[in-house]
Amino acid sequence: MSELRKRQDPGKIADTDPQNHDILPRRSTFVLSSMLSGFDRPRLVILIFFAVFAAWILSPQETSSLSHSYAVCSSSGARIYTVDHAVPHAQCLVVDGSLILDVGSLDDIMARWVARGRLRSSLQIRYLDESSIVVPGLSDSHGHILEYGASRQFLLENAKTIKDAVALVRQYILDNDDILNDPSKFIEGSGWDHTSWPVEEWPTSDDLDMDPIIRGRPVILQSKDGHAFWLSKEIFALNSPWPSEIEGGVIMKDSSGNPSGVVLDKAEDLVQKPAPTEQDLLRHFNVAVKDILSHGLTSVHDAGFRPVSLEFFTRQAAAGNLPFRIYGMRYFNETDPYWGNLSEPIINAGDGRLNARSVKIFADGALRSGGAALHEPYHDNPHTKGVMRVDPKVLADVVYKFLRDGWQVNIHAIGDYANGVVLDAFEAALKDVDITALRPRLEHAQILTQTDLERVGKLGVISSIQPTHAISDMWFAEERLGPERVKGLYAFRSLLDHGSRLAIGSDFPVEDMNPLAGFHAAITRLTPEGLSPNGPSGWFPEQRLTRMEALRGMTIDAAYASFTEDSLGSLVPGKRADYVVLSQDIMTVPVDQILRTKVQATVIDGRVAFGKV
């Protein structure tokens, strides 16, 4: 009986908690009042007791057998974070099919259950562990799903030198008989990072071809930031002739003027490689699915659907094979004909699992590889200001056309010059188009001048940011940008204070997919080990976000950035039942404990996709 009493008395909510207000529609309130008019309080308590008892004894013990309607309740106070201003915390969340039916205290929920005439049907009640919390389904606002799966096939992240990377390629060949026995088979890997090596230098084709096992094989190794290919001599031969220059890209040369082994940004497009098969795509997708769900992600904004990706996800949606929600950005190639007036956006395909109503455009390169377009030369390389991948006039033209034709425009912009050019294009389009309604986005928004920080909010532009980029780049950023310009890098607080919404992501596979890593980085600006160039207070700590701001960036503001805030992003009645159960309260535990948090369950449309409730 003591165990039964414990299950039935999960604790009281503080009187100051607003969770019991403004939830029930007026009609339901009237019905409840009418029903209760014939009951005195003791009889009502008994009635609710038996309703709870029936739910308890009838509820199955396995998560997979959750009924059509069920409740998830905290046994230790209001530990459900709704991310709703009206009702920020709740004790219980009621799911009915794929939707949220109710939130509030257990007493009020059971009273409303009776008022709805559902006394004859049992309501499963699942109690959280004492330390656990519930948050809305988490979103990654900038990731690369199929590229992530492909990158997991052969990783170079652990290479600490060029020699280490070459050794990993050699071992990969020796470990795979199909590759070892077929010298023509393409070898693809990713994750090398020259900025982390003791001597920061670019690798060369000679480094690969000096190894007899590798020599003569087609090898393509993508850098950690995705903006550079390290190529073998065989790849250069297969793709010859190479132009002396390419607009928006770089072909690195040796002292004789020949390609040395690395190509940057638009020059990557010159590399031809075999198209992935359907089997390849499915293998890559399945690898990504497993990690996405285990990290508590229910939605991913895929930042750059190439045609093969768009077609693949469209097929999966039609077949009902999307285990999580995907918001896709269609790929833009300035050499192709304009298609914004010829294509229709994809809206809520696969029962709301697939949307593709935006376009992704690259304005410049990356800071790590020196391709970010700056107003002034790089501090550590005064011979360059970086690279614009698209001509500003072309950018202004296509931005206007896409917005005119109803597409959200999401633009990769890293350097302060590139961000300024993009904002110019948005501002020019504003003369004829209500761009706020189309919610344009700066993807990364890494370095902005003070004037442009103010302009982002005024124009209604969303800042799609990746906090883990900040803690990766902080170790070399000042050397690259100088002591003054670096202050405008990853200025999250300034963006928010100037009125820009923040949609938070990771840019996986460039950074760790785990959204809690981004949460930790956003509120501390420290590495997971608690380090920064500025000490334990964090790297430019004045740019830190609060925990609620970071959570909103992964939930309701990410939903706003994908036009889904009416159905996703917060736990309120009528929205989709996407939620995550975490093993501890990330909103209150010491920051050095946040990354110890485990995802206990990922639930999408009311059904458990990972773990158990």
pLDDT in tens, 372-411: 999 999 999 999 999 999 999 999 999 999 999 999 999 9
Residue 28 pLDDT: 33
Selection from 192, 173, 171 nearest residue 184 by Cα: 173
CA distances from 175 to 1, 18, 160, 166, 171 (A): 60, 60, 21, 14, 6
- Domains in the chain, CATH or no CATH each: 2-137 (no CATH), 147-270 (3.10.310.70)
The neighbour count for residue 343, using CB atoms within 10 Å, is: 13
Is the per-residue pLDDT at 21 higher than 90?
Answer: no
Q: Give the span between the Cα atoms of 356 and 348, in whole angstroms.
A: 9
Q: What is the mean pLDDT of the chain?
A: 88
Q: Kindly report the pTM of this predicted structure.
A: 0.83
Is the per-residue pLDDT at 285 higher than 70?
Answer: yes
Q: Give the span between the Cα atoms of 438 and 424, in whole angstroms.
A: 16
Q: How confident is the model at residue 67 (pLDDT cuts 50, 70, 90)?
A: low
Position 221, amino acid: L
Least confident of 28-42, 94-108, 114-128, 170-184: 28-42
Q: Can you give 215-226 as a three-state secondary structure string?
A: CCCCEEEEECCC
DSSP 197: S
Is the per-residue pLDDT at 17 higher than 50?
Answer: no
User: Residue 130, by phi and psi: left (phi above 0), alpha (psi -120 to 50) or beta?
Assistant: alpha
Share of the chain above pLDDT 70, in %: 88
Residue 119 pLDDT: 60
Residue 14 pLDDT: 32
Residue 540 pLDDT: 97
Selection from 448, 539, 541 nearest residue 500 by Cα: 448
Q: Are 424 and 455 in contact (CB under 8 A)?
A: no
Selection from 74, 69, 53, 73 nearest residue 116 by Cα: 69
Q: Are 509 and 152 in contact (CB under 8 A)?
A: yes
DSSP three-state, residue 246: coil
Q: Are 91 and 104 in contact (CB under 8 A)?
A: yes
Higher-confidence residue of 32 and 432: namely 432
Order of strands across the sheet that contains 579-582: 89-90, 80-81, 133-136, 579-582, 599-604, 607-611
The mean pLDDT value for 445-454 works out to 96
**Is the link from the previous residue into 307 a cis peptide, with omega within 30 of 0?**
no
Q: Which two tokens stand for residue 344?
A: 């229709």
Residue 121 pLDDT: 64
Taking only the tens place, the pLDDT of each residue in 501-522 is 999 999 999 999 999 999 999 9
Selection from 465, 466, 390, 377 nearest residue 421 by Cα: 390
Task: Give residue 596's Cα distance to chain centre.
Answer: 20
Q: Give the span between the Cα atoms of 341 and 338, in whole angstroms.
A: 8
For 38-93, the DSSP string reads T--HHHHHHHHHHHHHHHHHHS-SSGGG--SEEEEE-SSS--EE---SSS-EESEE
Selection from 241, 156, 243 nearest residue 203 by Cα: 156
Least confident of 114-118, 196-200, 602-606: 114-118
Taking only the tens place, the pLDDT of each residue in 536-560 is 999 999 999 999 999 999 999 999 9
Instruction: Give me the helix-helix angle, 416-429 and 450-459, nearest 10°.
Output: 30
Q: Which helix (H) or strand (E) holds 531?
A: none
The neighbour count for residue 382, using CB atoms within 10 Å, is: 9
Taking only the tens place, the pLDDT of each residue in 220-276 is 999 988 889 999 999 999 999 999 888 888 999 999 899 999 999 889 989 998 888
Instruction: Give the β-pairing of 259-265 and 249-253.
Output: antiparallel
Order of strands across the sheet that contains 219-223: 187-192, 219-223, 228-231, 259-265, 249-253
Residue 195 pLDDT: 87
Q: Which residues pair with 579 in a beta bridge?
A: 136, 603
Selection from 276, 284, 285, 278 nearest residue 322 by Cα: 285
Q: 171-192: b or e for each residue (b if 16 or more CB lie within 10 Å)? A: ebbeeeeebeeeeeeebbbbbb
Quickly tell me which residue has 């990504």 as its tokens. Answer: 288
Instruction: Give me the helix-helix angle, 106-115 and 41-58, nearest 10°.
Output: 90
Selection from 233, 316, 236 nearest residue 281 by Cα: 316
Q: Give the span between the Cα atoms of 395 and 413, in whole angstroms.
A: 12
- What are the phi and psi torsion angles at 129 (to 5°)? -60, 155
Q: Are 525 and 492 in contact (CB under 8 A)?
A: no
DSSP three-state, residue 607: strand
Residue 53 pLDDT: 41
Q: Give the span between the Cα atoms of 230 and 479, in whole angstroms.
A: 24
